[in-house]
Amino acid sequence: MSATATATTAPATAAAKERRPGAARAYLAYLGGKLAGAAVSLFAVLVTSFFLFRIIPGDPVKSMTQGRAVSEDQLAALREQFGLDLPLWQQFTDYCTKAVTGDFGTSYQFHAPVSELIWEKVPNTLLLTGVAVVLYTMLGLWLGTRAAWRHGGLGDRLNTGVALTLWSVPGFWLGLLLIIVFSVGIGPIPGLFPTGGMEEGGKEGFAYIADVAHHMVLPVLTLVAVGYAQTLLVMRSSLLDEMGSDYLTTARAKGLRDDLVRRRHAVPNALLPTVTLIFVNLGHVAAGSILVETVFSWPGVGSLFYQALSVPDLPLVQGLFVVFAGAMILMNVLADILYPLLDPRVGR
């Protein structure tokens, strides 16, 4: 494999043409290995989530009953309800047997099944961060390509400078500024967007979709503004690496327009590191962005996680942790599946 890799200096697209008969089998073996690895990781996550959060200081029953009158009878009833009166090993086996079937128990503070609470919020977070990731990835790719192609120029310096500045801005601060300027309105700028939330409520069909989109504009804008620099920089630097390559000279010699040389030859080869980044970002989508969700009162998993940690509401933190980690693992597997398709040198 290493021999092939060093020998193949030709672009990936050309290598794709040279698939050997054993390639399909090799790909399956590669895939099998990756899937097995993912399964092991997921299991490890299940186990750690149980022990990890038991280290958090604080007695859930005590912190839930703080500041109000409770009889000893009530405290005992709560402990029994939560299963906290059982020995740890028994709590662990109970947790494992249930978790395998997707049942993470009942939240201490919300008195409702954890899976229900999580699935109520996950779509909201996916919608917000998903749209933001797609948008900032595209913006980053586009601007990154431009910047690298004419590197050192005014456009490059301006682009990179602006992106880096926005990247350094704390998301919650930018969010608050956007609220002040575009929600409340300053001077001649009227209040264009809602100050927070996801919907007015009571709307249906198209009006509902429009309402949600209207509420999404500012949080998405915030996430895109602070996020696109990453993709831009990775794309820019990996494209710069390709810039001097012989195959680009060949492509130009063929008489292709500069624009096409960039789009069909340089960019595809420079895309691989960016793909990794895209999938890492997609893996984070499920976890959302706690700060931006908070500033815009977006009903996502971020604030749920925060509330779960502060009790600690063990079943809920465990469930969320598994979902967050699971999303990351899933995205890694997807990236692994995609790599060999993008670059046949991988996985051979």
Partner 1 sequence: MHHPESGPFTRLARGIVAAAAALCLLLLGLVAAPASAFAEGAGSGEATPDGKGQKDTLTVAIAQSVDTLNPFTATRLSATNMMRLMYDFPTNYDPKDPSKVLPGLATKWKTSEDKLTWTYTIRDDSEWSDGKPVTAEDAAWTFNKMMTDDGAKTANGNFVANFDKVTAPDDRTLVIKLKKPQATMLALDVPIVPKHVWTKVKNIAEFTNDKDFPIVGNGPFILTDHKTDQYVKFKPNKKFWRGAPAFDELVFRFYKDNDAAVSALKKGEVSFVPDLTPAQAASLEGAANIKVNDAAGKRFWALATNPGAKAKNGKKFGNGHKALLDADFRKALFHAVDRKTIVDKVLQGHGVEGEGYIPPRYEDYFWKPSAEQKIAYDPKQAAALLDKAGYKEKGGKRLDKDGKPITLRLMCHATDPKDKAASKYLEEWWGELGIKTKTTCLDNVGDPWVAGEYDIAFDGWSVNPDPDLVLALHTCDALPNTPKDVGLTDNFICNKKFDSLYAKQIAEYDPAKRAAIVKDMESWLYDSGYMNVLAYPNSVEAYRTDQIKSITAMPASNGNIWGQDGYWSWWSAKPAGGEAKASSGGSSSTGMIIGIAAAAVVAAGIGGLVLVRRRSAADDRE
173-202 binders of partner 1 (CB under 8 A): 176, 179-180, 182-185, 190-199, 201-202
Do the Cβ atoms of 22 and 4 come closer than 8 Å? no
Cα–Cα distance measured from residue 164 to residue 316, given in angstroms and rounded to the nearest whole number? 36
For residue 319, state whether it binds partner 1 (rule: CB under 8 A). Answer: no
For residue 328, state whether it binds partner 1 (rule: CB under 8 A). Answer: no
Based on CB atoms, which residue is closest to partner 1, 44 or 58? 58
For residue 86, state whether it binds partner 1 (rule: CB under 8 A). Answer: no
Based on CB atoms, which residue is closest to partner 1, 46 or 125? 125
Q: How far is the CB of 99 from partner 1 (least distance, A)?
A: 18
Do the Cβ atoms of 326 and 206 come closer than 8 Å? no
Residue list 107-136, contact with partner 1 (CB under 8 A): 109-113, 117, 120-121, 131, 134-135
Residue list 36-65, contact with partner 1 (CB under 8 A): 56-59, 61-65
Stretch that binds partner 1, among 72-80, 93-101, 145-153, 280-288 (CB under 8 A): 72-80
Stretch that binds partner 1, among 66-74, 148-156, 227-235, 281-289 (CB under 8 A): 66-74
Cβ contacts of residue 256 below 8 Å, gap of 6+? 264, 265
Question: How many of the other CB atoms lie within 10 Å of CB of 48?
Answer: 14
Residue list 224-253, contact with partner 1 (CB under 8 A): 247, 250-251
For residue 310, state whether it binds partner 1 (rule: CB under 8 A). Answer: yes
Compute CA distances 342 → 12, 25, 274, 332, whole Å: 8, 17, 12, 15
Q: How far is the CB of 238 from partner 1 (least distance, A)?
A: 14
Q: How far is the CB of 39 from partner 1 (least distance, A)?
A: 27
Quick check: bond before 312 cis, omega within 30? yes
Stretch that binds partner 1, among 14-22, 84-92, 160-168, 225-233 (CB under 8 A): 14-22
54, 151, 214, 284: which one binds partner 1 (CB under 8 A)? 214
Do the Cβ atoms of 342 and 271 come closer than 8 Å? yes
Residue list 252-291, contact with partner 1 (CB under 8 A): 254, 257, 259-260, 264-265, 267-268, 271
23, 31, 42, 70: which one binds partner 1 (CB under 8 A)? 70
Phi, psi of 9 (to 5 degrees): -95, -10
Q: How far is the CB of 187 from partner 1 (least distance, A)?
A: 13
Give the count of alpha carbons within 13 A of 103, CB side only: 8
For residue 73, state whether it binds partner 1 (rule: CB under 8 A). Answer: yes
With CB under 8 A, what is the number of residues at the site for partner 1? 99
